[in-house]
Amino acid sequence: MMNKETTKSKVVHLNDGQFDTEVLKSNIPVLVDFYADWCGPCHAIAPTIEALSNEFDGKVKFVKVDVDANQGVASRYEIMSIPTIMLFENGKVEDSIVGAYPANVYKQHIERALGRRNYSETSH
């Protein structure tokens, strides 16, 4: 079992009531990790998500939503399988990944989102 106290986490755990403020109204892209405590693959990717949260600190916000405890958000975004990773930009889902993958897959999706963001900021 992994001890959560040993790593400085930049990943914020959200509930249904915090989702709109922390994700939809964020001024930077948000990676949402939809998970459940009983989900083996969710635990397997947790260290990857933690590492990416440190690597992209200040550029992307990282949050986790327990689908069992927060069924409202899970239902709103039709989460059928976990882990599901969704990237939100300007209040909308811009990308999603269902299943457990190596770190480079998540990193490519994040960098693509940041590339879109940088392109839109410089193309005014």
Span 90-124, pLDDT tens digits: 999 999 999 999 999 999 999 998 887 665 555 54
119 assigned to active site: no
Here the CATH number for the domain that contains residue 36 is 3.40.30.10
Please indicate, yes or no, if residue 2 is contained in any of the structural domains: no
The catalytic residue among 39, 45, 85, 100 is: 39
Q: What does pTM read for this prediction?
A: 0.87
> Cβ(64)–Cβ(35) under 8 Å?
yes
Cα 28 versus chain centre, distance: 12
Give the mean pLDDT of 7-32.
91
Check if 122 is active-site.
Answer: no
Residue 29 preceded by cis peptide, ω within 30: no
Q: What is the pLDDT of residues 40-93, one digit of tens each?
A: 999 999 999 999 999 999 999 999 999 999 999 999 999 999 999 999 999 999
On whether residue 90 sits in a domain, the answer given is yes
Range of the domain at 105: 7-122
Q: How far apart are CA 96 and CA 2, in angstroms?
A: 26
Give the number of domains in the chain.
1
The answer for residues whose C-beta is within 8 angstroms of residue 94's C-beta and 6 or more apart is 29, 87, 88, 113, 116
Around Cβ 3, how many Cβ atoms within 10 Å?
A: 6
Catalytic residue among 11, 14, 32, 42: 42
